[in-house]
Structure 1
Amino acid sequence: MWRGFWTLVARAARGPRRSCTRQGSGAPVPGSGATIFALSSGQGRCGIAVIRTSGPASDHALRSLTAPRDFPPARSACLRLLSPPRSGEPLDRALVLWFPGPQSFTGEDCAEFHVHGGPAVVSGVLQALGSVPGLRPAEAGEFTRRAFANGKLSLTEVEGLADLIHAETEAQRRQALRQLDGELGHLCRAWAKTLTKLTVKCGSWSAGRGFAQERM
């Protein structure tokens, strides 16, 4: 049990892994895979549904569904008419956002489509994205997994995000938010630093004792 606990402490203490940085967009981040898309908001009817993409073809997906309008500026919401690239039949008027990597949730190029939350609209936009070359539906948790792999979230922050999503009480929400903000990670790093110092001291003491016994 303790071995597993200290392994978790060590992994959390390392914090987020550094990812490569680049300027601009359109070029794949080294090590990135296919471009993924998924409904990020809840299932069912709602006023607004959020569909997002992540990966090197996100800009192509955004252009394909919003052509012939100009490409939106980074991190600015723009109203666009969405249409499938093949038929061109209007799907919905939506707010679209462009997040070039690495300044995004996953560290990759990302796009968001804020559409009306009716099932037919959501299904139509998802099908349109699926028809864009280079895109595939995301696996469960894949956006968060990419954020972790690209150094955007640490292990404890990933757990905090999951807890925040599933929080049902105020106490759970507060605890999850503290963990997402890195409070547990800071604590684990402090523990790891203390353990490292103790290990060094114990090693020095053992070496000194062995040397003394040899002299005797």
Structure 2
Amino acid sequence: MALRGAVRAARGRWARPLSSAGTPVGTPVGTPAGTGDTIYALSSAPGRCGVAVIRASGPGSRGALQSLTGTPKIPPPRVMALRRIRDPHSAETLDRGLVVWFPGPRSFTGEDCAELHVHGGPAVVSGVLQALGRVPGLRPAEPGEFTLRAFRHGKLDLTAAEGLRDLIGAHTEAQRRQALRHMEGELGRLCQRWSHTLTQVGSAGPGAGKN
């Protein structure tokens, strides 16, 4: 339900019209679109697992990745690299895991993003999240906020966002197929065709088609 709430928020007080460049109207040139802050959260399912994915999104993602790996050198974009993950204050090793750097706009949210793929034990995940919380400029993400940012950057429309939520919650093959079609834009394209048809009918006026 968090995703549905994020989509509603996008329609409401957080949503702003987008310019032709895809950034919210009023955003200064050179400023990343969105709120301008950097968020982080566990992106995989909570609980004990083999691998947990922790994501950061926003202009501070690169610095966060550098802080937790203890080096200014980051991997090439979209290439996984094995790194020792450390607490930036104590330099204590928290885990050895894979890190990935996604410079915007070629990322899930459209912003600079970093991902840490770590062992999924509760102590490891908690330690990495706490370490990210000690990096200046980062804050925990609100429920559904990564998807909200993807929507605001034009990476997902509302029907695709709903499709993503349904795909995550799918239990049957039929549910999976339908959710995937929605996420890939099938419903969105249908709605666009309906909108175009209704607009044409409305612009023709009430007397259209009469002799």
Partner of 2:79: 76
What letter corresponds to residue 46 of structure 2 in structure 1? Q
Q: Tell me by how many angstroms 1:203 deviates.
A: 4.7
Q: Tell me by how many angstroms 1:63 deviates.
A: 0.3
Paired residues in the alignment total 187
- Asked if 1:154 corresponds to 2:154, the answer is no
- Asked if 1:35 corresponds to 2:8, the answer is no
Q: For 1:186 and 1:144, locate their aligned partners in 2 and report how far apart those are by CA, in whole Å.
A: 20
1:28–1:122 Cα change, 3 Å:
farther
Deviates more, 1:196-205 or 1:137-146: 196-205
What letter corresponds to residue 40 of structure 2 in structure 1? F
> Which residues in structure 2 correspond to 1:61-100 (within 5 Å)?
61-68=64-71, 70-100=73-103
Structure 1: 5+ residue stretches without partners: 1-10, 12-16, 21-26, 210-216
Higher-Rg structure is: 1
Report if aligned partners of 2:84, 2:93 keep a CA contact under 8 Å in 1. Answer: yes
1:175–1:144 Cα change, 3 Å:
same
Report if aligned partners of 2:34, 2:149 keep a CA contact under 8 Å in 1. Answer: no
* Identity rate, percent: 63
Partner of 2:119: 116
Q: Cα deviation per residue 1:170-215 (whole Å; 9 max; x = unaligned)?
A: 1111000000010001111111111111112225649x99xxxxxx
What letter corresponds to residue 146 of structure 1 in structure 2? R
> Which is helix-richer, 1 or 2?
1
Partner of 2:186: 183
Q: Tell me by how many angstroms 1:69 deviates.
A: 6.3
Q: Tell me by how many angstroms 1:166 deviates.
A: 0.9
Residue among 120, 130, 134 paired with 2:137: 134
Report if aligned partners of 1:160, 1:176 keep a CA contact under 8 Å in 2. Answer: yes
- TM-score normalised according to structure 1 size: 0.81
Q: Tell me by how many angstroms 1:72 deviates.
A: 1.1
Query: Which secondary structure does the structure 2 equivalent of 1:189 belong to?
Result: helix
Report if aligned partners of 2:164, 2:179 keep a CA contact under 8 Å in 1. Answer: yes
- TM-score normalised according to structure 2 size: 0.83
Structure 2: 5+ residue stretches without partners: 1-10, 12-17, 24-29
- Asked if 1:107 corresponds to 2:106, the answer is no
Residue among 166, 174, 179 paired with 1:163: 166
Q: For 1:45 and 1:108, locate their aligned partners in 2 and report how far apart those are by CA, in whole Å.
A: 29
Query: Which secondary structure does the structure 2 equivalent of 1:74 belong to?
Result: coil
Partner of 2:3: none
Query: Which secondary structure does the structure 1 equivalent of 2:93 belong to?
Result: coil
Q: Considering only aligned residues, what root-mean-square deviation do their CA atoms show, in Å?
A: 2.0
Report if aligned partners of 1:28, 1:55 keep a CA contact under 8 Å in 2. Answer: no
Q: For 2:147 and 2:115, locate their aligned partners in 1 and report how far apart those are by CA, in whole Å.
A: 15
Q: Cα deviation per residue 1:117-172 (whole Å; 9 max; x = unaligned)?
A: 00010000000000000001100000000000111100110111111111111111
